A and B are shown apart, each in its own frame.
Chain A
Amino acid sequence: MELLQAMINGILIGGVYALIGVGLTLVFGVMDIVNFAQAEFMMLGMYIAFFLFQVAGIDPILSSLIVFGVVFLIGALVQKGLIQRVMNAPMVSQIFLTVGLTMVLVSTTQLLFGATFRSVTTSYQMLALHFGHLQFSVPYLIAFGVSITIYFLLWLFLERTDLGRSMRATAQNRSAAILVGINDKKMYVLALGLGTGLAASAGAVILPYAYVFPTVGHQYALIMFTTVVLGGFGSVPGALLGGIIVGIIQSVSSVYLPTQLQNLVVFIAFIITLVYKPAGLLGR
């Protein structure tokens, strides 16, 4: 029974992990770059949602839309100003540019907001639905629900809109896409904006049950990378599958192992995936 509860919690959390990871996988798919600062954009989203709540009383779930928009713009600027310059540079440069970005983001927020842990108190924070012996924490449920909705919207965008299709085309074959008239630079801006915006909205969505502080991104980094590797770099549905699996692994292992060792199991899953199926479950 505890196991089942853990699995359910895992799925619920996994939905959020998927949302954080899908941005990473999208950026990789379209731009062939791993954005090591991805988790920091989630942190940014959390802070923005936090302040919107403090100042204007907007519930973080609702503000996730605004958060998405704001961070989308930030991401777009980062792409135009920084990442575009290393699009054709060696991998080393690309990796360390985003690492440097991580440092700048973390230290700036620390200077602006201090290192204290912040959290919000919403009316539904402590609520839970009960089905027999099983408990469904309301914040978890809502986070999951919103994540899945956003995921679905993303899917619609990629499959049904011209812009989305152009982006997928760029991901599949950069040169061919350019040849048919797709502006690749524009696609990259769109991709990074989307990628970072999605992570940020994930941050807003988990605020009801998580603390925000400058280095919160660090904790989610391993989870996020495992999600993407498991699902397959570049695969949007893969990130969903990966996220849920990682969520379940993490949650179930906490039943048998102390909390601190949860990440160990995730890491082992990560290594196993690399050894046996490096392209991931749904990878290209």
Chain B
Amino acid sequence: MKRFSEVNPTKCFGFLFLVVLFLLPVFVFGTKSYYLRIAVLVLMFAGMSNGWNLISGYGNQVSLGHAAFFGLGAYTSTLLLKYIGLSPWLGMIAAGLVSGLSSLLVGIPTFRLRGHYYALATLAFAEVLRVLALYFRHFTGGAVGLTVPYLGDSFWFFQFYGNRTYYLVGLFMLFMTLLITYRIDRGRLGYQLRALKNSHEAAEVVGVDTYRAKLKANFLSALITGMYGTFYAQFQFFIDADTVLGFWTISVKMALMTILGGMGNIWGPLIGAGILVPLDEWTNAVFTGNLAAVSRLIYGGLLIALILWQPRGLLYWIYQSVARVWQRSRGIEKIGGNG
């Protein structure tokens, strides 16, 4: 895959361009705009999926239960807010830590084993948390859910009127997530993860503690995802076990977006989120009631199609197409030159 490691003026220009592009929605859409709301969700899912990507893409350990970390984070900060009035910003840190530590529960037993075990363990973990959350409904609101107490437009309590500020917060969080992922990728952990993906044995023999590397990646992944759980709670003002700890609602979505855009690559999740979040909103609006299953059918079909024909995602497909066109134009030049 292309590496964005060239340091040159083009990079700076590109960066500025992106900044402007990303800030556009804030100015174009009204703060109560439905489109801005979707944009916020795009940013959120892009960040979350990046978190998933850290362990499943870079770390090559597929997680089927990241909803566990998401939901844990959401409940942690919301319960702290509810019971001790803790600012959700601090709650977000707590959420990240709780999720991060919980990641050890699944990582420690499974990372010495083959990948299937981690996948199953995360699946089971999320499911168990969901069941527990439904059961302890006195605490968690059970199936009915928890509403985040409305305390007015307040920065301290991470609640804002309208969507604009959420968008900016989301943008900042996404930026930080991408930065963290980028730094990991270009640093020791990233190299170790890539190495062990290629050959576990060879990596170990040249000194890579593969077990530790995976645990680290998993921790960071869970941490990021947990923090997004808080963001979600503060944005939606409402969380419930079936949504925030749900296999289909969160775990599969994060995975699907990343696979669509391209795994093991920092821009993939963003592209995937950019396509799937609006698509999701659209299908939910169109296929209601009895037809609700149609959207799931579409996503299932999409997932299968992706795996069969573009397993490396859209980004790779774009890269290949561009490379092919470029090569072809070069070829034509050469022939013309010899004529």
Q: State A53–B115 Cα separation when bound (angstroms).
A: 41
A-B contact count (CB 8 A): 132
Closest A residue to B120 by beta carbon equals: A225
- B128 cross-chain contacts in A, Cβ below 8 A: 222, 263-264, 267
B303 touches A96 (CB 8 A): yes
B109 touches A100 (CB 8 A): no
- Binary per-residue interface labels of chain A (260-284) against chain B in the complex, 1 for a CB within 8 Å, 0 otherwise: 1101100100110011001000000
A106 beta carbon closer than 8 Å to chain B: yes
User: Which secondary structure characterizes the binding site on chain B?
Assistant: helix
Binds A, one of B25-33, B154-162, B286-294, B328-336: B286-294
- A101 cross-chain contacts in B, Cβ below 8 A: 300, 304
A95 beta carbon closer than 8 Å to chain B: yes
- B248 cross-chain contacts in A, Cβ below 8 A: 103
Q: State A93–B310 Cα separation when bound (angstroms).
A: 10
B297 touches A103 (CB 8 A): yes
Distance from B277 Cβ to chain A, minimum over Cβ atoms (Å)? 18
A258 beta carbon closer than 8 Å to chain B: yes
Q: State A108–B298 Cα separation when bound (angstroms).
A: 10
A111 beta carbon closer than 8 Å to chain B: yes
B311 beta carbon closer than 8 Å to chain A: yes
Closest A residue to B57 by beta carbon equals: A92
A96 touches B123 (CB 8 A): no
- A278 cross-chain contacts in B, Cβ below 8 A: 109, 112-113, 117
A86 beta carbon closer than 8 Å to chain B: yes
A270 touches B300 (CB 8 A): no
A260 touches B294 (CB 8 A): no
Q: State A140–B62 Cα separation when bound (angstroms).
A: 37
B299 beta carbon closer than 8 Å to chain A: yes
Q: State A274–B112 Cα separation when bound (angstroms).
A: 10
- B62 cross-chain contacts in A, Cβ below 8 A: 91-92, 95-96
Q: How many residues of A contact B (CB 8 A)?
A: 45
Other-chain residue from A91, A214, A233, A270 in contact with B124 (beta carbon distance below 8 A): A270
B131 beta carbon closer than 8 Å to chain A: yes
Q: State A263–B132 Cα separation when bound (angstroms).
A: 9
B64, B293, B294: which has the most chain A beta carbons within 10 Å? B293
Distance from B135 Cβ to chain A, minimum over Cβ atoms (Å)? 4
- A270 cross-chain contacts in B, Cβ below 8 A: 120-121, 124
B97 beta carbon closer than 8 Å to chain A: no
A34 touches B300 (CB 8 A): no
Which residues in chain A, 232-268, are within 8 Å of chain B measured between CB atoms? Answer: 233, 258, 260-261, 263-264, 267
A97 beta carbon closer than 8 Å to chain B: yes
A99 touches B109 (CB 8 A): no
B123 touches A221 (CB 8 A): yes
Which residues in chain A, 99-146, are within 8 Å of chain B measured between CB atoms? Answer: 99-104, 106-108, 110-111, 114
A180 beta carbon closer than 8 Å to chain B: no
Closest B residue to A260 by beta carbon equals: B135
A114 touches B311 (CB 8 A): no
A274 touches B132 (CB 8 A): no
- A214 cross-chain contacts in B, Cβ below 8 A: 293
Distance from A103 Cβ to chain B, minimum over Cβ atoms (Å)? 3
Q: State A225–B120 Cα separation when bound (angstroms).
A: 7
- A225 cross-chain contacts in B, Cβ below 8 A: 120, 123-124
Q: State A90–B64 Cα separation when bound (angstroms).
A: 16
Q: State A110–B296 Cα separation when bound (angstroms).
A: 10
Q: Given A261-B135, A264-B132, A34 and B307 touching (CB < 8 A)?
A: no
- B302 cross-chain contacts in A, Cβ below 8 A: 100
B134 beta carbon closer than 8 Å to chain A: yes
A103 touches B299 (CB 8 A): yes
B132 touches A229 (CB 8 A): no
Distance from A258 Cβ to chain B, minimum over Cβ atoms (Å)? 7
Q: State A222–B124 Cα separation when bound (angstroms).
A: 6
B80 beta carbon closer than 8 Å to chain A: no
Closest A residue to B134 by beta carbon equals: A260
- Binary per-residue interface labels of chain B (27-64) against chain A in the complex, 1 for a CB within 8 Å, 0 otherwise: 00000000000000000000000000000100010101
A107 touches B64 (CB 8 A): no
Other-chain residue from B247, B293, B307 in contact with A96 (beta carbon distance below 8 A): B307
A3 beta carbon closer than 8 Å to chain B: no
Closest A residue to B311 by beta carbon equals: A93
Q: Given A92-B56, A264-B131, A103 and B255 touching (CB < 8 A)?
A: no
- B247 cross-chain contacts in A, Cβ below 8 A: 218
B124 touches A267 (CB 8 A): yes
- A110 cross-chain contacts in B, Cβ below 8 A: 293, 296
- B113 cross-chain contacts in A, Cβ below 8 A: 274, 278
Further contacts, 7 of them, CB under 8 A, given A86-B308, A91-B115, A267-B125: A91-B62, A96-B259, A99-B255, A100-B299, A107-B300, A225-B123, A263-B127
* 5 closest cross-chain pairs (CB), A and B: A103-B300, A100-B303, A107-B297, A110-B293, A104-B300
Chain B contact residues, CB within 8 Å of chain A? 56, 60, 62, 64, 105, 108-110, 112-113, 115-117, 119-121, 123-125, 127-128, 131-132, 134-135, 247-248, 252, 255, 259, 263, 290-291, 293-294, 296-297, 299-304, 307-308, 311
Chain A contact residues, CB within 8 Å of chain B? 28, 34, 36, 82, 85-86, 89-93, 95-97, 99-104, 106-108, 110-111, 114, 214, 218, 221-222, 225-226, 229, 233, 258, 260-261, 263-264, 267, 270-271, 274-275, 278
- For this complex, 29 residue pairs linking A to B, each with C-beta atoms less than 8 Å apart, are A82-B304, A90-B60, A92-B259, A92-B311, A95-B64, A97-B304, A97-B307, A99-B255, A100-B302, A100-B304, A102-B300, A103-B252, A103-B300, A104-B300, A104-B304, A107-B293, A111-B291, A221-B127, A222-B124, A222-B128, A226-B124, A263-B128, A263-B131, A264-B132, A267-B127, A267-B128, A270-B121, A278-B109, A278-B112
